Every structure is written in C-alpha cells, then in structure tokens.
C-alpha cells in the first residue's frame, strides 16, 4: 500500500507541474503579454520596451518558466507591475483570509451536510426529507452570488442582524474580522452543505436497497444497528471522495462570495488583478489555487484508499 500512496504523490506532483505548464503556456499563447496587458492603451514603443526589459520578458519562454517555477516553490512569485511590490506580500494575508473562510465553512458545512443527508435518506419522502431536500436543491441550483445576495437581503437589509459587507483591512488581525465574516461563512457553508447533502442522501438510499443490507435485515439485525454497522460505512465511503472534491470546488465559489461581501481574500484579489491586468499576480494566484485544488484531490484519493477495504487489500497476482 505504501507504494500506491507514493505513486499517487508522485502523480500529484507531476500534475501540478503539468498544470503550471498549462497556466504558463496559456498565458504565453494568448495575444499580448504581461506588459501589453498592464499598459493597455499605452503599450507601445519605448514604454513597452522598457517594461519588457524590466520584467525580463525578452528572454526565451523556457527560461522564464523555469525561473518562475523555481521562485514559486520558494514562495517568491515575482514583482507585480502594479505598485512594483513583490507578489508574495500581497498574496500572503489574502491567502490567510481565504483559508479561514474556506476552512470554517468546511468545518461547519461538512458534518452538517452528512448529518442532514443521512436524515433525509432515512426519512425518505417524508417531512424531514422534503424540507431538507427542497432547500438543498434550491441552494444548489441557484448561482452562489444570488444565494449570497438573498442572504444579505434577509439578514442584513430586512432583519439587520449582520453586516453585509466587509470593511476591515486585509491585514487586520483575526478578531476584528469576526462579526464581518459570519454571513460569508454561512453563505459558503450553505452551498457546500447543499451539494454534499444530496450526494450523501443518494448514497445512503442506494446502500439501503442493496443485497447485503437486506441480508442483514434477514439475519435479524435491528434497524439502528443495521444503519450504523452496515449502511453508513458503505454509504459514506464514496462520499469521502466527493467531499474532498467539493472543497476543491469551494475555491471557485469563494471568489464569488468574496466579491459579493467584499471580503479581502485571494479570490477578490484575483478579480482585482485581472481588472488591472496584472498578469504576474494572476499567474501566481492561478498556480496557488491549482496547487490547492490538486492537493485536495490527492488528499481525497488517499483518504479513500485508507477507508476502502477493497483498495487496502489489493494484492498482486502471486502464483
């Protein structure tokens, strides 16, 4: 089994390399470069040339790529043409903020989703399920920004309980944030919960109809013992993978949420960077997000390995 884990890790690293290549190549292939993008209208003649010189854009792509990757591994993403500050500075506390948002939402959302999903499945088609499923479907299908806006409408505008927009500075200490981030966390958690809940529900319903659960019933195993010993372990197994993928999806969702609530995180930074055509920052954030995503996928795979007895006991063909 150690070999399998090692293999997955290597695969993960290779994927990150591949993705970094794609990001870099993608930006290279698009018409223009960091300088033309940033300078916009003024991108011509001497100014363009100087800009390119400053940022070493005249060197061959491979060299730039290697340098970029080398720097990235050390945490140095280069200098942003906007404000001439090192990218890593701007990125680091935004990164912290996004992680806080994502982590809290996950810690809240996932256990809740699993619980609600199980309840919805066990009381299938009856009152608890109808309420839970309807709300989940609603939250799932409607775009995040709509859900977030609706939440602002309800809790901030009509009820006035919570602030709708974050006004604290990005580098402020944690405590100042607290009241501000409640609504964004709820919004994010709600959407995550909705997705995971539905998957859990389907999984539990499927497993409850399986032959082995029927067999347990015919063995005389009482209902709750069946649920905990035979249904849940098998139902939750496939959801582990999905949960981790959900967290990965979260990354995209945070961008929208951050914009809606004006939250100073990585997502909002990215939007701003794109707006200002700061390709260096954009590249950096893209890489970070991609690496996070791949890392989470890897984590999901490994978790599944550990949990699934079938994979744990894979043996090679021995005569």
Dist. CA 239–CA 197, nearest whole Å: 10
Q: How far is the CB of 175 from another protein (least distance, A)?
A: 26
Q: Is 61 in the site for another protein (CB under 8 A)?
A: no
Q: Which of 80, 88, 97, 234 is in the footprint of another protein by CB under 8 A?
A: 234
Q: Is 214 in the site for another protein (CB under 8 A)?
A: yes
**CB 188, CB 109: distance < 8 Å:** yes
* 164-168-174-177 Cα dihedral, nearest 10 degrees: -20
Q: Is 179 in the site for another protein (CB under 8 A)?
A: no
Q: Is 286 in the site for another protein (CB under 8 A)?
A: yes
Place of tokens 């649920």: 227
Phi, psi dihedrals of residue 100, rounded to the nearest 5°:
-60, -50
Q: How far is the CB of 105 from another protein (least distance, A)?
A: 16
Dist. CA 167–CA 237, nearest whole Å: 41
Q: How far is the CB of 186 from another protein (least distance, A)?
A: 17
How many Å from the N-terminal Cα to the C-terminal Cα in the chain? 20
Q: Which residues, numbered 134-173, are part of the site for another protein (CB under 8 A)? A: 137-138, 141-146, 149-150, 152-153, 156-158, 164
171 or 243, CB closer to another protein? 243
Q: How far is the CB of 256 from another protein (least distance, A)?
A: 6
Q: How far is the CB of 235 from another protein (least distance, A)?
A: 10
63 or 252, CB closer to another protein? 252
Size of the site for another protein (CB under 8 A): 77
Q: Which of 30, 42, 107, 174 is in the footprint of another protein by CB under 8 A?
A: 30
Taken in order 251, 255, 260, 263, the sign of the CA dihedral is: positive
Dist. CA 21–CA 72, nearest whole Å: 13
Dist. CA 232–CA 223, nearest whole Å: 12
């Amino acid at each position: 089994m150690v070999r399998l884990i090692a293999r997955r890790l290597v695969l993960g690293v290779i994927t990150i390399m591949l993705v970094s290549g794609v990001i870099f190549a993608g930006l290279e292939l698009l018409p223009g470069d960091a300088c033309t993008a940033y300078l916009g209208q003024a991108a011509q003649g001497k100014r363009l040339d100087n800009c390119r010189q400053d940022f070493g854009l005249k060197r061959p792509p491979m060299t730039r790529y290697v340098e970029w990757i080398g720097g990235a591994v050390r945490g140095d993403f280069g200098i942003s043409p906007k404000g001439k500050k090192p990218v890593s500075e701007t990125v680091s506390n935004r990164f912290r903020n996004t992680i806080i948002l994502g982590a809290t939402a996950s810690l809240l959302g996932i256990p809740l989703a699993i619980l609600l999903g199980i309840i919805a499945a066990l009381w299938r088609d009856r009152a608890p399920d109808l309420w839970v499923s309807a709300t989940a479907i609603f939250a799932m299908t409607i775009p995040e920004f709509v859900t977030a806006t609706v939440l602002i409408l309800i809790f901030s505008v009509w009820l006035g309980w919570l602030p709708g927009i974050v006004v604290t500075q990005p580098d402020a200490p944690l405590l100042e944030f607290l009241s501000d981030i409640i609504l964004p966390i709820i919004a994010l958690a709600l959407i995550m919960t909705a997705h995971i809940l539905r998957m859990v529900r389907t999984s539990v319903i499927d497993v409850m109809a399986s032959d082995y659960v029927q067999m347990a019933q015919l063995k005389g195993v009482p209902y709750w013992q069946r649920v905990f010993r035979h249904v849940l372990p098998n139902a939750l197994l496939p959801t582990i993978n999905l949960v981790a993928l959900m967290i990965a999806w979260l990354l995209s969702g945070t961008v929208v949420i951050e914009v809606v609530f004006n939250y100073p995180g990585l997502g909002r930074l990215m939007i701003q960077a794109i707006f200002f055509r700061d390709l260096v920052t954009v590249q950096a954030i893209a890489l970070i997000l991609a690496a996070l995503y791949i890392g989470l996928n890897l984590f999901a795979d490994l978790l599944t390995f550990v949990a699934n007895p079938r994979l744990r006991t894979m043996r090679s063909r021995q005569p």
